[in-house]
């Protein structure tokens, strides 16, 4: 995916900052640009969307992802830290303080486990767009990118109850990533996403993408077991 060349100078500056911070695995600049494009698609279906808030929020929403992924304590929340980092970046670019607050609110609320509920249309669109990017063909590709990074198996047929007790903490975080697999990620998390989305357009897209994933993982099980 090409770097967006139709953004004004301030957005181009944000894009360059993000490019330096995110350059690995499933959370890279390509992810950011896909989320941006999905945000623009969802915004077309909604009223009174402030793009001056939505676009910077989309570009900066994962700015602290590297910090979280490299934090061995598990205490860093990239949405919360990212909001603070974004605030400093936007301040240096002379953004209006009120706009900065609204952008930070969007970033804080884009994650399930951060404890912040999206309460503006911009925050809801960013939340939905970010979740859509883990569904469908892209979602499958991203799951296996992460699986390869963490040395995961291709498939695991362990019962979900047993897996939850063994390898999932009370906060929903995976204890040992090497024991995780793409099909478990789908069953435990991804297939539940559509019911948590906010916008009608996102729900429509999610339903189609989930159907595709259901078919893919059914075929995968058959092939893994030598039945196809």
Domain borders along the chain are: 1-120, 134-228
pLDDT value of position 77: 82
pLDDT tens for each residue of 108-135: 999 877 678 999 999 999 999 999 999 9
Residue 59: name the closest of 96, 80, 90 by CA: 90
- The reply to whether 134-228 shares the fold of 1-120 is yes
The arithmetic mean of pLDDT across residues 147-156, rounded, is 88
The arithmetic mean of pLDDT across residues 83-89, rounded, is 95
pLDDT value of position 9: 74
Residue 202, helix vs strand vs coil:
helix
CATH number of 134-228: 1.10.3210.50
- Burial (0-12, 13-18, 19+ Cβ within 10 Å), 153: middle
Encoding tokens for residue 133? 């990017």
The arithmetic mean of pLDDT across residues 191-196, rounded, is 95
Residue with tokens 């640009």: 33
Confidence of residue 199 (pLDDT cuts 50, 70, 90): very high
Residue 3, helix vs strand vs coil:
coil
In whole angstroms, what is the distance from residue 49 CA to residue 42 CA? 10
The arithmetic mean of pLDDT across residues 79-87, rounded, is 92
Q: Is the Cβ–Cβ distance between 55 and 36 less than 8 Å?
A: yes
In whole angstroms, what is the distance from residue 130 CA to residue 37 CA? 10
- Asked whether the whole model's pTM tops 0.75, one would answer yes
pLDDT value of position 165: 87
pLDDT value of position 2: 44
Confidence of residue 175 (pLDDT cuts 50, 70, 90): confident
CATH number of 1-120: 1.10.3210.10
- Mean pLDDT for the chain? 89
pLDDT value of position 1: 42
Residue with tokens 């623009």: 40
CA-to-CA dists, residue 122 to 3, 105, 111, 180, angstroms: 22, 10, 14, 33
In whole angstroms, what is the distance from residue 107 CA to residue 53 CA? 10
């Amino acid at each position: 995916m090409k770097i967006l060349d139709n953004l004004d100078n301030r957005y181009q500056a944000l894009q360059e900052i993000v490019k330096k911070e995110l350059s690995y695995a499933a959370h890279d600049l390509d992810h950011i640009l896909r989320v941006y494009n999905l945000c623009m698609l969802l915004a077309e279906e909604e009223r009174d969307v402030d793009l001056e808030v939505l676009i910077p929020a989309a570009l900066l929403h994962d700015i602290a992802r590297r910090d979280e992924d490299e934090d061995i304590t598990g205490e860093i929340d990239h949405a919360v830290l990212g909001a603070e980092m974004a605030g400093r970046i936007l301040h240096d670019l002379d953004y209006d303080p009120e706009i900065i607050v609204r952008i930070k609110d969007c970033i804080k609320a884009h994650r399930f486990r951060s404890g912040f509920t999206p309460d503006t249309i911009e925050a809801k669109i960013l939340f939905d767009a970010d979740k859509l990017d883990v569904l469908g063909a892209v979602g499958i590709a991203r799951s296996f990118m992460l699986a390869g990074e963490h040395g995961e198996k291709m498939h695991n047929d362990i019962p979900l109850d047993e897996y939850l007790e063994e390898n999932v903490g009370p906060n929903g975080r995976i204890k040992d990533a090497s024991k995780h697999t793409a099909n478990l990620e789908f069953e435990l998390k991804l297939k539940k996403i559509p019911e948590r989305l906010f916008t009608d357009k996102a729900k429509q897209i999610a339903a189609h993408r989930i159907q595709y994933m259901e078919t893919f993982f059914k075929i995968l099980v058959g092939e893994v077991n030598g039945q196809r």
